[in-house]
Amino acid sequence: MSAPDPRKAQMILDLRRGGVRDARVIEAMERVPRDLFVPEAFRVRAYENVALPIGRHQTISQPLVVGMMTEALDVGERMKVLEIGTGSGYQAAVLAPLCRRLYTIERHKALLDAAEKRFHALRLMNITTRFGDGSKGWPEQAPFDRIIVTAAAVDVPPLLIDQLTIGGVMVIPVGDDQHDQRLLRVTRTADGVETKDLGAVRFVPFVEGKAKNY
């Protein structure tokens, strides 16, 4: 049996100190090898509580933010989840064991190809990927019980709200400036939406339009 990784142990301690309490979320993050999802040059920092570059001007979010967003999503094992912005695939790898089916969209083909290889290596069989414009969601598979957006939108996209079930939840960073973004938990109700502010965050901008085939 291999010795426990002290870097991962420190990451879990940071999660708990940062307020992540859900045992299922902590267990999922403990199981996922975060170093597999970062470029080789940054692997020594894989378990630090920092965001790291992954190419194409994108980042892998810091572990505490991943933990907070996953906990806020409150995913059940029978739920269908949509992720906008696959990136490295780390957030998807954390979510996959917690839900029935995960659909994830990425607009950078190179990032998606690399993420798909990681999913295969980890035998995450309940993830379905799509290369394309995430701002349109995935109407063919809607409605979703949960939606998570991993880039900051100027406002909550109505198209994505429409793809939630009644009672469904979306977690999304909102703000048009990297220094003034808020993480929102949006619940769709029969009469509209209810929104809860979860605090300040910093994400790359949510980009609409043609996907990048490189």
Residue 137, both tokens: 């969601």
In terms of C-beta density within 10 A (0-12 exposed, 13-18 middle, 19 or more buried), how is residue 5 classed?
middle
- Catalytic hit among 2, 61, 88, 135: 61
Q: Is 88 a catalytic residue?
A: no
Reduced to 3 states (helix: H, G, I; strand: E, B; else coil), residue 159 is: helix
Residue 52, both tokens: 């790291």
In angstroms, how far is CA 9 from the centroid of its own chain? Answer: 21
Distance, in Å, from the CA atom of 43 to the CA atom of 194, rounded to the nearest integer, reads 39
By the 8 A CB rule, do 60 and 46 touch?
no
By the 8 A CB rule, do 98 and 28 touch?
yes
Rg (CA), the chain: 16
By the 8 A CB rule, do 203 and 61 touch?
yes
Residue 153, both tokens: 């939108």
Catalytic residues: 61
